[in-house]
Amino acid sequence: MALRTDLLPELTPTQTVIVESVVKDPLANPRGAVLRGSDARTRQPTSAKDIGEFVGIVQKALKDKLEDEGLVIGKDLIFTEEYPPKDIESETITYRLLSRDPASMSGGRHLNQERQEWKPHLREISDDPNHPGYRLTTIGQKFENQIVFTCWAKSNKTANTRAIWLEDTLKAYTWFIKYEGVDEFYFLRREPDFLLDMGQANFLQGRPLVYYVRTERLTHLSEPTVRRIILQYSVGVTDTQGG
């Protein structure tokens, strides 16, 4: 016996489109993310700075102070890394990193190693303002640094005077250093004076000052907001007969 199709209602396929966002965890699987600059951080007046950028901020402060005194950095006072040049003619301030450790996450003033930030942590997630359709994930890790600034001069009196000048200057510009994105900064101690033999009966007096600097290293990951489109097909029943 043949099947009577005239008794069946007309079958009409319908479809439903569902669009859902798929958000990845950039810390667990950062592949495909694009590194952007470290120019975003909403919880500070300016972006957070690491130790290399800190040195540049100190140089700005010294330059500003010297200009107030009618002097020129690089001419009347040299600011450089490690040791002063052998043909030194001007007073010199050098800097070197004494220690660098993951920052303490516990209470206390500094260098509390009971609990440290051993790896980067998520700081914030926001829309990437420069790339529509992308999100910007910021991860960061704080570090505790000890940096030594040494004042060099050919006489004890000049070296001592410059050391006090530097201590007073950095204290006066602490607000500026922190405003520029350094998390914490303050004087720790002055180490023993010493004499540096530059050769050919040329000696320099050194006055080392040690400072505590807490910095933060930020990484920004920019990645597209992935969308997954799901097509759901269903069979709807359309009654072709008049009711």
Residue range of the domain that includes 72: 35-237
Domain count, the chain: 1
pLDDT of residue 106: 62
Specify the CATH number for the domain of residue 150. Answer: 3.30.2000.10
CA 186, 141, 183: angle at the middle one, nearest 5?
25
Q: What are the residues facing 79 on neighbouring strands?
A: 93
Q: DSSP character for 179? A: H
H/E stretch holding 167 reads: helix 156-172
- The pLDDT of 100-119, averaged and rounded, is 67
Tell which wins on pLDDT, 122 or 30: 122
Q: Is 6 within a domain?
A: no
The mean per-residue pLDDT over the stretch 62-72 comes to: 95
Q: How confident is the model at residue 13 (pLDDT cuts 50, 70, 90)?
A: low
Any domain includes 13:
no
Q: Is the pLDDT of residue 195 over 80?
A: yes
Q: What is the mean pLDDT of the chain?
A: 76
Q: Is the pLDDT of residue 126 over 80?
A: no
Instruction: Examine residue 242 and state whether it is found in any structural domain, yes or no.
Output: no
Cross-strand bridge partners of residue 206 = 152, 194
The answer to the question of residue 121 being in a domain is yes
Shortest CA distance to 47 belongs to which of 222, 214, 216, 221?
A: 216
Q: Does any domain span residue 30?
A: no
pLDDT (tens digit per residue) in 81-93? 988 877 777 899 9
pLDDT digits (tens, 9 = 90+) for 205-242: 999 999 999 888 877 777 777 655 556 666 655 555 55
Are 42 and 222 within 8 A, CB to CB? no
Residue 27 located in a structural domain: no
Q: Which of 103, 119, 104, 133 is nearest to 219 (CA)?
A: 119
Residue 33: what pLDDT?
42
